[in-house]
Structure 1
Amino acid sequence: MLKSFSLQEKSWIMYDWANSAYSVIISSVILPLFYKSITTGEGIAPNLADSYWGYATSAATLAIAVSAPLLGTVGDFPKWKMRLFKSFFLLGAVATAALSFTDDWRWLLALYMLTTIGFSGANIFYDAFLVDVATEERMDRVSTYGFAMGYIGGSTIPFVLSILLIMFGERIGIPRTTAVKISFLFTAFWWIAFTIPMLRNVKQRYFVPASDHIIHDSFARLYQTLHQIRSHKKMFLFLIAYFFYIDGLNTIIHMAAVFGDSIGIVSDMLMIAVLVIPILSFPFTILYGKLAKRFGSKKMILVGIIIYLFACLLAFRMTTAVEFWILATLVATSQGGIQALSRSYFAKLVPKEHSNEYFGFYNILGKFAAIMGPALYALTSQLTGDSRNGLASISLLFIIGGVLMMRTEEN
């Protein structure tokens, strides 16, 4: 499948395979359900538990968001892109392993926040490495294959093994809680093992001249970059649109499991349903890449936004497991495509030697957006007493993002 890719492209793609295990097991399914089982046992109301999870997600993303532009600027200096990538990756992997050693919901939230910071921080530099490993003509293809490989491998294999252990572990003497904790350790191991090709083979090709005053010079360049972004109409409009629609997408990813639990979908059914998402996402993500070559990235991003908007409206009246399966299928058709094409669409716009700097702003918008979405979901759920209203409120983000995306220039 990857024979047509260079060694650097393959190694870069493999990091999507590596960190996708974290995305599904820690961010989306098993940790949220484990957290909900503990909060339920302590008598915390479901909508309040959802709110605490949403607030924790918002707080963690705020921490990385405020530092993303400066981190991105520092990463443009020689060798710093890989140093910072490695530091955040290790923070995320170690904190993930540490989740296995506590049953306290407060500690789970604290460690979850650290894993979010590590995962999100590493992705700033991972995304920026796209300009180092692929030409503009190959960026859509490399980016979509990255997400696709993450879904079919990183999301599926460790998730299936974890589900089997959780559902049937008691038959071989492994209690369900222990099986959940083993899945956290396995996720950390998977993340570390398949990041090794990235660490060994991917090199920073584009950078700004070295400096003896990295921090001072980085602050000085931040203002210049912000001014350049504002004067680049296409880039500026895209980033604002991205701020809204990626907020909606990330909120659905982070809150799907706790939402399903709150409306009465049993945990085993949730895990099986969520397994369908990466399996279906694999071919659809590659399809998005192929269709983008024919119709353009912008049109395919808009298609994804419309599908997500429909999914939000469907969630408003969701009451059965069948409807949850329909929602999961809708999400699967566009989840990878819209993220992959957004990444490559932006990578084509930025100066290569300043890629980290620009991707710092790209990521700060994504992270600040990830603060607003979960907070909007949490606040709406808490005020109305119904998690359906919380998810339905996210449709507003897709509407705003889609309208702004339509205003960006085609070429």
Structure 2
Amino acid sequence: MKFTKMERNWVMYDVGNSALVLLNTSIVPIYFNAINTGASSAELVTAWANAQTVASLIVALLMPILGSLADYAGNKIKFFTGFFLTGVVLCLAQAIPMSAMAFLVVYVLCTISLNSSMTFYDAMLPDVTTDERMDRVSSSGFAWGYVGSTIPFILCIALIFGGPSILGLDTLTCTRLTFIITGAWWLAFTVPLLRTYQQRYGKEREHGAQGVLHNIAKTFTGLLDTCCRIAHDRVLLVFMIAFFFYIDGVHTVISMATSYGAALGIDSTQLVLALLVTQFVAFPSAIIYGKAAGKFGTLRMIIVAVAAYVGIVLFAAFFLKSATEFWILAILVGMFQGGVQALSRSYFGKIIPKEHSNEYYGFFDIFGRYASVMGTLLVSVVTSLTHDPSLGVLSIGILLVVGFVMLVKLSSMQKAAA
């Protein structure tokens, strides 16, 4: 399938932001553990889980309101640009030497900006393509994001491992420079989208001071109307409930994998290289998922991915003890994470009204972010109480099963209605 210019530039943003996502899930937890000296493995996992929880909670609270405001014609690109530029600045700021707690604060703020920009980015999908092409475009975004992010990541790894001998810099300094490389990459691959994006769907807005106040007032009443519309749309409601539960497992596995592996004593080199393999596996897997959705149905392929994630969590809890098992885990995650995220994004885009896409994606983000809050918080609490990270990982399996059951129910509803 040949992309239009708008579709191609939209996909390129996934290439840009995925570099920071990969850095955050691989090198950053290891760097945080290195500067947070004296903490136990359980304390490190708990601190990292708490940071993820705070970031997810703030995004979940902000996005429905800002998303509704962004639905007014011409606003979406403004909100996207604001959060994106803030994220780039904060990404670069993490290169400054600072205490572990100060770093964690900057990291949380950067993560909030990144995830907020991605909410507006997701809501651009109905503007840049059609329903018929949405699965393929969304899957291509994740796919190229995975493989494209490996280029700056390999540069970062080469700097960390080769910098001390070649440049004469210590490992921590080389690690800090990776934030500069990643921030520059993120910026470069976002510029084309900023220059060409045009909002096709949007609510008409009033101008002038009184008009602005009226727009804000309508935003809050509109949020209530959207809640009512979601509650009365059984397909949309059941999907969002299912998404709330199953994306919990997906996000938690992604965000906690490196921290969990480090807590088990797996060598940091093995952790980073295994996650690099995840990106290469995820590239063809996401493309295949996009094509399979056209043949077997989007919802059916989401169900397959969630079932696979149940097995992945069980494997991580009971069998992950060494670097070999972590490599197996990384490959399994790469096979399914891009597919389930891409198809969830595109399936949602097909069943919502296009002119309210940002508002609906704001609620989509509430369900996704609160699920992430619940997942990482659950890992934190269970790990703190039991002092066993494996039990913390196992606890999220229940949520994945609930999501799977709800998806099966949704599938049955659609068959009955056909």
The normalised TM-score by structure 1 is: 0.97
Structure 2 residue corresponding to 1:37, chosen from 34, 37, 53 = 34
1:239-282 residue CA offsets vs partner (Å, 9 max, x unmatched):
01001111111111111111000011111110001100010000
Give the corresponding residue for 2:5. 7
Give the corresponding residue for 1:341. 343
Paired residue type of 1:37: A
Structure 2 residue corresponding to 1:74, chosen from 64, 69, 74 = 69
Other structure's SS at 2:200 match: coil
Paired residue type of 2:297: G
Matched, 1:159 2:153: yes
CA drift at 1:102: 2.5
Give the corresponding residue for 1:250. 251
Other structure's SS at 1:91 match: helix
Distance 1:278 1:192 in 2: 20
Give the corresponding residue for 1:139. 134
Other structure's SS at 2:95 match: helix
Matched, 1:284 2:282: no
Give the corresponding residue for 2:119. 124
Distance 1:390 1:275 in 2: 25
Paired residue type of 2:119: I
Give the corresponding residue for 2:305. 304
Paired residue type of 1:169: G
Q: How do residues 37-186 of structure 1 correspond to structure 2 at under 5 angstroms?
A: 37-39=34-36, 41=37, 43-154=38-149, 156-172=150-166, 173-186=168-181
Distance 1:299 1:121 in 2: 29
CA drift at 1:214: 2.0
Matched, 1:400 2:398: no
Give the corresponding residue for 1:356. 358
Q: Percent identity?
A: 42
Distance 2:247 2:81 in 1: 25
Paired residue type of 2:372: A
Give the corresponding residue for 2:220. 219
Distance 1:274 1:294 in 2: 30
Matched, 1:208 2:203: yes
Distance 2:62 2:176 in 1: 31
Paired residue type of 2:321: T
Distance 1:226 1:386 in 2: 39
Paired residue type of 1:175: D
Distance 2:193 2:179 in 1: 22
1:169-226 residue CA offsets vs partner (Å, 9 max, x unmatched):
1121122111100101111111111100110111101111112122111001011011
Structure 2 residue corresponding to 1:23, chosen from 10, 21, 25 = 21
Runs (4 or more) in structure 1 with deviation over 4 Å come to none
Distance 1:316 1:140 in 2: 32
Matched, 1:270 2:271: yes
Distance 1:72 1:99 in 2: 28
1:115-173 residue CA offsets vs partner (Å, 9 max, x unmatched):
1110111111100100000100000000000000000102x111111111111111211
CA drift at 1:59: 1.0
CA-based RMSD of the aligned residues comes to 1.0
Distance 1:119 1:271 in 2: 21
Unaligned runs of 5+ in 2: none
Unaligned runs of 5+ in 1: none
Distance 1:363 1:303 in 2: 22
Q: What is the aligned length?
A: 405
Distance 2:288 2:330 in 1: 18
1:358-379 residue CA offsets vs partner (Å, 9 max, x unmatched):
1110011111111111000111
Matched, 1:388 2:390: yes
Other structure's SS at 1:230 match: helix
Other structure's SS at 2:111 match: helix
Distance 1:290 1:360 in 2: 27
Distance 2:56 2:312 in 1: 24
Paired residue type of 2:233: H
Distance 2:33 2:305 in 1: 30
Other structure's SS at 1:205 match: coil
CA drift at 1:47: 0.6
Give the corresponding residue for 2:327. 325
Distance 2:281 2:115 in 1: 24
CA drift at 1:300: 0.6
Other structure's SS at 1:204 match: coil
The normalised TM-score by structure 2 is: 0.95
Distance 2:357 2:195 in 1: 21
CA drift at 1:393: 1.1
Give the corresponding residue for 1:315. 316
